[in-house]
Amino acid sequence: MPKNIILFLGSAYNSNLDEVRSFEKSQDKKFRTAIITSYKINLNEKPPKQKGMEERFDFVLRCDTKDIKSIAKMIEPIENDILIVFCYFESWMPLYTRLVKLLPNVNMPTAKSLKICNNKFEMRKKFIKLYPEITPKFMLVNDLCHFERSDSGERNLLNKVNIDNNVEGIPRLKVRNDKSENYSVAQEIAKKIKFPCITKPLNLTKSRLVIKSNNLEELESNLKNTFKKIKSVYKKVHSESAPLVLAEEYLEGDLYSIDAYVNSKGRVYLTPIVRVVTGKDIGIDDFFNYYRLTPAGLSLSEEKKAQAVARKAIKATGPASITLHIELTKTKGNGWKIIELQTRPGGYRNEMLKLSYGIKHYENDFLNRMDKKPIIPKRVKSWTAVFEIFPEREGKLVAVRGIEKMKKLKSFVRYEQAKKIGEMCGFSRDGYIYVLQVVLNGGNKKIFYRDLKKMREVVKVIVK
């Protein structure tokens, strides 16, 4: 019997399963679906609005996802029928890495490349080695008394630094429990990276706990706040990773992202670029993605520059048989830089690319993992934006105003409320998720941009 099982890891969306059914029609082939997850996960509750999802899978496999023997025993009845392995969430990437060893006959990235791509520090070290021009300066903060450093263009300036052969000769500066009154990790970051700088968790998404510091006082306060909250945030998303923080140079510029299909031979197919407007861009002191926009509005020459930098990031990290999400900044004066690369499709990318270009992103992902060429139409059909709306301060949710007015916008497609009345909500930098998600789409550019502007005026999140 031919392989026909699509295996999801950890959790999934109902839309993922809808795409499997659509893929069946385009391929004229029947596929079965399976998911391997932990005993703790209720698939019908997380993420929001997934009621009835568990019953849609042909196989629901629960085990100790941290134990490779437990995983092997659970997948044994179906392992010879698995065609594709699909992982959407960073928190389940360790499970993905374990499965590589158990499923050698399935097209998957190497365990090494998965570990590199899902650790911002290791990823940046690879960038520095091959393409230092695409990465900002950075340091890893283990806690408030320990850090490791690897700076672009300054390797030969470090004195008395131990070289760790396990990281391919890149210097690591280690400081352990220096109790001098004049010493702090924040001071070392200020000295090596300077201000403004960004601190962010090593393995979290949606800008959780990402914050900018403009001076030493802010940095010390922000680091304390981050380490106070980081363990609980990692626990909420079921992350196995150690709660570490990356400090890096702040890049002034506009944010974009691009998804890429990489086949088993390393050939790269790039999707259209998406513009990302952050809270900072609209005057809010937070880095959440306020809205994502397609088309991105770049000139052809700038688009080619962004694509070239994305290809460098892929070459440096080495993943294959995968769909990647790459975030970039078009900096003022210094060209394009890589924010990060992730081994999953971008958020809302399937919906956005389908609406704006007719690209079936998840189906392309399946095709690519089967070593078939993805189908990527380039003609723009319409304009699309996906909003994530947060409150202007922390508090209990009282109301979301303007919903009915929003629904009357000609470009309105759908919305989803992720927080209930009475629940605590706040900034992404403090570990919260959005309150409201909204999708706009329209074929008339003038009307679409008018509605884009009205969205911010119409919808208000009220907290107390």
H/E element holding 25? Answer: helix 14-27
The answer to the question of residue 291 being in a domain is: yes
Same domain, 266 and 240: no
Q: Record the tokens describing residue 413, joined without a space.
A: 């497609």
Same domain, 261 and 239: no
Compute, in degrees rounded to 10, the torsion defined by CA atoms 130, 297, 353, 344: 30
H/E element holding 364? Answer: helix 361-369
The answer to the question of residue 122 being in a domain is: no
Same domain, 259 and 235: no
Inter-residue contact 201 to 244 (CB < 8 Å): yes
The answer to the question of residue 453 being in a domain is: yes
pLDDT band at residue 5 using 50, 70 and 90 as cut-offs:
very high
Same domain, 334 and 228: no
The answer to the question of residue 131 being in a domain is: no
Same domain, 295 and 404: yes
Q: Record the tokens describing residue 60, joined without a space.
A: 């629901």
What residues contact 275, with CB distance under 8 A and at least 6 apart? 254, 255, 256, 292, 293, 294, 296, 297, 298
CA count, 13 A, side-chain hemisphere, 372: 10
The predicted structure's pLDDT at residue 152: 42
Residue-range definition of the domain harbouring residue 57:
5-106
The predicted structure's pLDDT at residue 62: 96
Same domain, 261 and 358: yes
Indicate whether 263 pLDDT > 90: yes
* DSSP helix, strand, coil percent of the chain (3-state; round to 5): 35, 25, 40
Q: What is the pLDDT of residues 369-396, one digit of tens each?
A: 999 999 999 999 999 999 999 998 999 9
* Number of domains observed in the structure of the chain: 3
Residue type, 230: I
The predicted structure's pLDDT at residue 148: 60
Same domain, 397 and 276: yes
Position with higher pLDDT, 208 vs 134: 134
The predicted structure's pLDDT at residue 157: 25
CB atoms within 10 A of CB 24: 13
Inter-residue contact 250 to 222 (CB < 8 Å): no
Position with higher pLDDT, 49 vs 355: 355
Same domain, 241 and 350: no
H/E element holding 455? Answer: helix 445-458
Average pLDDT over residues 20-29: 95
Q: Which of 249, 281, 297 is the last residue of a domain?
A: 249
CATH of the domain at 358: 3.30.470.20
pLDDT band at residue 177 using 50, 70 and 90 as cut-offs:
very low
Task: Give dist(CA 384, CA 291) in Å, integer.
Answer: 10
Q: Which of 220, 249, 278 is the last residue of a domain?
A: 249
Task: Give dist(CA 303, CA 300) in Å, integer.
Answer: 5
Same domain, 394 and 289: yes
CATH of the domain at 18: 3.40.50.20
Q: What is the pLDDT of residues 403-435, one digit of tens each?
A: 999 999 999 999 999 999 999 999 888 888 899
Provide the 3-class DSSP secondary structure of residue 243.
coil
Same domain, 342 and 239: no
Same domain, 76 and 36: yes
The answer to the question of residue 332 being in a domain is: yes
Q: What is the pLDDT of residues 121-176, one digit of tens each?
A: 899 999 999 999 999 888 888 766 655 655 443 332 222 222 232 333 333 334 33
Report the alpha-carbon angle 107-59-203, nearest 5.
55
CATH of the domain at 189: 3.30.1490.20
Provide the 3-class DSSP secondary structure of residue 162.
coil
The predicted structure's pLDDT at residue 2: 87
Same domain, 358 and 274: yes
Print the SS3 string covering 247-292.
EEECCCEEEEEEEEEECCCCCEEECCCEEEEECHHHCCCCCCEEEE
Average pLDDT over residues 192-218: 84
Phi, psi of 299 (to 5 degrees): -70, 160
Task: Give dist(CA 461, CA 438) in Å, integer.
Answer: 13
Indicate whether 285 pLDDT > 90: no
The predicted structure's pLDDT at residue 52: 82
The answer to the question of residue 132 being in a domain is: no
The answer to the question of residue 362 being in a domain is: yes
6-20, 146-160, 333-347, 381-395, range with the lowest pLDDT: 146-160
The answer to the question of residue 94 being in a domain is: yes
Q: What is the pLDDT of residues 216-250, one digit of tens each?
A: 999 989 988 888 888 888 887 777 777 788 899 98
Which residue pairs from 277-284 have beta carbons closer than 8 angstroms and sit at least 24 positions apart in sequence? Answer: 278/207, 279/390, 279/427, 279/428, 280/212, 281/254, 281/255, 282/456, 284/390, 284/392
CB burial string 120-155: b at 16+ within 10 A, e below:
bbbbbbbbbeebeebbbbbbbbbeeeebbbbbbeee
Task: Give dist(CA 364, CA 323) in Å, integer.
Answer: 9
